[in-house]
Structure 1
Amino acid sequence: MGNEGRNAHGRFLASDLQICTVTEDSATVSWVTWDADISPGETPVGMETAGRLEIWPTNTRGEMRTVDSPADSAFHVLTTGGLKPDTDYSFRATSHGTPATYSPATVLAQYGAQGIVHPEEGYRFRTLAKLSGTYLGTIVVANDLHLGETADGNIIAGFPPAAVSAPGAEPYPTVMTESVIDAATRAGASHLFVNGDVTSENRPAEVELAERLFKAFPGALRTTRGNHDRPHRFSSGAEYAAAPPLAGKDSPGEYSDAFGSAFEPRQKMWVEHIPYGDLRVIGIDSTHMDAAGGTIEPQQFTDIEKELASRPNQPTIILLHHPMTRDAAWSHVGGPAFILNDADMLRLQRLIAEAPGVRLVCSGHTHRARRDTPDLPTRATYLETPSAKNWPTGATHLRIHTDGIYVNFRHAMGDAAFEWARRTRWTYFGLAPLLGLGPVEARNLVVRW
């Protein structure tokens, strides 16, 4: 679906409009132009067009701001700055004068059924309220890189049809990881946190690739372990033969753990003290040995409890791969077995509720943007953040101020990243935006200390 236009290349459809990022003074909008002459049964192909983004205060069109694509492209990601905080804006995105429109999947993801009933609301947004405190620095949270993976979108046994990298192209997990690192570097981030699923299956070659790519980031980098990074049995395949064994005096000898040797030991929390704002980031390993769901073992819980009790009011961000609310469990197709188990999630929520300095809890795993409702009263915001490697592609940037945090999802940038994004958009029978994009306010918000 999309609005049909024409240029020198032929007929195109301007579609897949989405509001990527809304800050206190800027907005980023993306859309794709598809070859209109490709039949519905064929793989969609992008067509290069000239893009333009127009943004104006909803009640004052005379104050319009316009930005054009630097070059013709099939994938447009345009940003307009100079906006006013806490203000309603309207916008229009066009390719060769043809307005881009939403796909039904994107409408439902960003606005729910309300977007179908009142489609005009989809062409408006409100900038974030302005924090009054001093800017201190930026940290970036990414998740679900899946380095070493070769097919995106499979659930079981090659179903549904997957997206794969173009012949001769750099593997898509590498492309997206490089894009995340480049964006974090350009943002001047002091820290990059990769919140689980660094690798596809914790193979030694995948861990070595991660180490090599991570060296490009000039700041501090920490990881949490995701279910794909769990220890694997040596018997899982010949590729594990050279992997170091799982560390620990009580560890069963049949397991390898290249990830633990290179990054973080299994079921061990860590603390990273950010050198500004008295900010503490706590990373938690929420992985099972042999399952996709989440668990926290007793010793790690003891360590978490001691750390939070030592300074309960210290500004704190918690990272763990698995979502940890019943809201997350029952709103995801994987159900409760896919996230942190019920007893552990409630225990961890109690610890967070007793530590009022914890204001943000970020998880990955579901590859979607969602703001979850906790089961216990708390001042903390619980977020599921989008995957780096599939639609919408990107990472979450946290701009730290003395009185709070701007939380903003940033789309992956660069021609290779755009090419891959176009491919992954059509996974899950074209429903990737519905499953992963999430509401604008789940990707762009203010968290106050």
Structure 2
Amino acid sequence: MSSLSARALRSVATVAAGGLVLARSSPEVARQRRPTDPDPGDPGDAAAALVAEEVLHGAAGAATHAADLEVTTVTDTTVALTWTTYGGAVRTPYGPARPAVAAPETVLLGPADAGPPPVVHHDDRPRGVHHVVIGGLEPGREYRFECRSGPLRATASLVATRRPGSPELTGRFRTLDAPTGPRLARIAITNDTHIGKRVRATGVPDAPERQLAGLVADARAAGADALVVNGDCTDANTPAQVERFRRIMNGAGRLGRDWFAVRGNHDNHPQGRPGRRRRGGAGEPIPDHFGAHFTARQRHFTGAAGPVRILGVDTSLPHLEGGHIGEAQFAAIGAELAADPERPTVVFGHHPVTSCAGASNIGGPGFILPRAQSLRLQRMLAGAPGALAMFAGHTHRTRRGGADIGGVDYCERGAAFGHPVGWTMLDIRAGGYLVSFHRTADPGCLELSARTRWSVFGMGPEYLLGGLADRNYLVRRPIG
């Protein structure tokens, strides 16, 4: 995805403002925004008080509060909770922002039917960005929780996290049911790493490189059998950027066995000129520096994670911001699927392909794969019983869509660079698969994410984060 245009800014502003009006007009939200005499011993009242503003004045006199509460990850046995302790608002060249200030952290969590939640995590080491993972939970069970920065309760800030029934607002979440059957593969997924991009919001020249290195370490530690980077690996298609990307990714193991890279539109940009793009797909010849290390233009690739086939599709053309799949690649994909249609298969392509993705992304239908090509690809995948899901990047957002044809799962995943900075684990079992989004947990990466949270005048996260059910979900189906 390229930098947000003025039209995109207006679109995000409209979405955020409209959602904010709806959220604030909701009786549920209104009740929780104005709690009356909550009983601190009643977890229900404590949840209602989560959105009451709690302010602490530090030595400098600036208001401090704990905000941006997110239930980032929910699996069958774990939950990841993220929030930030903020100081007073400041103005920056990229809009208003609130700097993070250091504070200790505490998490209270327990079964919803077992009384007030106990303290399950406490760390006196002060930090501004808080990310706590709690394990050992029971599948399919409801829990109550509360996060604190010192004496301050963390509150939800985004429209996406303040919708009626959202766990950040209610103080409750339910773990996913456990996937059944023996494990077949664990595939880590990320996209839009944009190696080489310089973002003044971070103040760190090599922010994308640091974030990718942290992500690779997390995916390896989580036991992923393979890691797929789904496009926009580089920001501007220079030899140096491609080489830096590959050097960092080699930390995941061997290319073609332990990790794979799909081409994105930025990997086709005129060398070093990421802003030079057209929708028409015509222009001067562009050297293929990405193809010198990876798959040539408009060629698919296949790999494996255990018995699961990894199918990478090149949906990009030079000078084209939207998607494209040529005739030769369609024929090759069809032959690959026809050779073993029952084999469990996960498909990766940088551009989203469904009509709902085209209608809902800020770039419009021209930003994704053209409709005729999209329907053709969906028919091919629907005709292969082993095709499980197709994952996309490009929009930088986390959103689970719906197929126009067939029952394959189509999903856009959040970016490795920017906000919220993370990756997805696809845990495939014989009885189905579990999808979960994970923040890159390295403290430096969390700090960089907190800085980019204020880009697009603080409205970017409204578009990018997605809902809890977009980030984490379970699909039951026989596989194998």
- Which TM-score tier does this pair reach, normalised by the shorter chain? 0.7 to 0.9
Output the CA distance in 1 between the equivalents of 2:169 and 2:201. 35
Query: Do the aligned residues in 1 keep the contact of 2:105 with 2:148 (CA within 8 Å)?
Result: yes
Report the alpha carbon displacement of residue 174 of structure 1 after superposing the two structures with TM.
0.7
> What does 1:251-262 align with in structure 2 at a 5 Å threshold?
254-262=285-293
- 2:59 equivalent to 1:22: no
Task: String of CA shifts for 1:138-186, please: whole Å, max 9, x gaps.
Answer: 22111000011112xxxxxxxxxxx4332xx451111111111110111
Equivalent residue, structure 2, for 1:85: 139
Give TM-score, length-normalised by structure 2: 0.81
Q: Aligned partners of 1:304 and 1:141: how far apart in 2?
A: 21
d(CA) in 1 for partners of 2:128, 2:331: 52
Q: Which residue of 2 aligns with 1:349?
A: 378
Which residue identity does 1:200 align to in structure 2?
A: D
Alignment map for 1:42-57 (pairs within 5 Å) = 43-57=97-111
Kept after mapping to 2: 8 A contact 1:143/1:386 = yes
Cα pair 2:202 2:452 within 8 Å, conserved: no
Partner of 2:459: 431
Note the residue ranges of structure 1 that are not aligned, 5 or more in a row: 152-162, 238-250
Cα deviation for residue 400 of structure 1 reads 2.7
Amino acid at match of 2:115: R
User: Are positions 1:189 and 2:220 aligned together?
Assistant: no
* Contact 2:161–2:169 (CA under 8 A) maintained in structure 1: no
Partner of 1:337: 366
Does residue 3 (structure 1) correspond to residue 58 (structure 2)? The answer is no
Q: Where do residues 2-401 of structure 1 align in structure 2 (5 Å cutoff)? A: 3-6=54-57, 11-36=63-88, 38=90, 43-61=97-115, 64=118, 66-69=120-123, 71-107=125-161, 111=163, 114=164, 121-151=169-199, 163-166=200-203, 169-218=204-253, 220-230=258-268, 232=270, 254-274=285-305, 276=306, 278-378=307-407, 380-401=408-429
What is the Cα deviation at residue 120 of structure 1? Answer: 7.4
TM-fit CA distance, 1:135: 3.0
Contact 2:268 2:286 in 1 (8 A): no
Instruction: Quote the residue 1:247 is aligned against.
Output: none
Hey, what's the Cα distance between the residues in 1 that align with 2:347 and 2:180? 24
Shift in CA distance, 39/14, structure 1 to aligned 2, threshold 3 Å: farther
SS at 2:400's partner residue? strand
User: SS at 2:357's partner residue?
Assistant: helix
Judged with a 3 Å threshold, the aligned counterparts in structure 2 of structure 1 residues 290 and 120 are, in CA distance, closer, same or farther, namely closer
Letter aligned with residue 272 of structure 1: G
CA contact (8 A) 2:379 2:405 kept: yes
Cα offset, 1:290, TM superposition: 0.7
Name the counterpart of 2:279: none
Is the Cα contact below 8 Å between 1:321 and 1:365 reproduced in 2?
A: yes
Are the counterparts in 1 of residues 158 and 461 from structure 2 also a CA contact under 8 Å? no
Structure 1 CA distance for aligned equivalents of residues 460 and 168 of structure 2:
23
C-alpha displacement of 1:312: 1.5
Mapped contact 2:192–2:230 kept (Cα < 8 A) = yes
| 1:307-344 CA distance string (max 9 Å, x none) | 11222221110000000000000011111000011111
Gaps of 5+ in 2: 1-50, 275-281
Report deviation, 1:201: 1.2
User: 1:289 offset after TM fit, Å?
Assistant: 1.8
Deviations 1:25-73 (A, max 9, x none): 1100100001137579754211001111112222222564511236211
For each residue in 1:187-226, what CA deviation from the matched residue of structure 2 results, as whole angstroms up to 9, or x when unmatched?
A: 1222111000000011111111112111211351111100
Equivalent residue number for residue 159 of structure 1: none
Instruction: Describe the SS at the equivalent of 2:251.
Output: coil
Counterpart Cα distance in 2 of 1:406 and 1:297: 32
Is the contact between residue 6 and residue 96 of structure 1 (CA under 8 Å) also seen in structure 2?
no
How far the C-alpha of 1:3 sits from its partner, in A, is: 3.2
- Contact 1:407 1:443 survives alignment (8 Å): yes
Alignment-mate amino acid for residue 375 of structure 2? L
Contact 2:184/2:308, CA 8 A, preserved across alignment: no
CA spacing shift, 1:37–1:436, aligned 2, 3 Å: closer
Cα 1:253/1:119, change in 2 over 3 Å: closer
CA 1:332–1:434: 2 relative to 1, 3 Å: same
Structure 1 Cα separation of the partners of residues 75 and 411 of structure 2: 17
Match of 2:473 in 1: 445
CA-to-partner distance for each residue in 1:400-429, whole Å, 9 max, x for gaps? 323222211110122221221111101111
What secondary structure does 2:81 align onto? Answer: strand
Length, aligned pairs only: 413
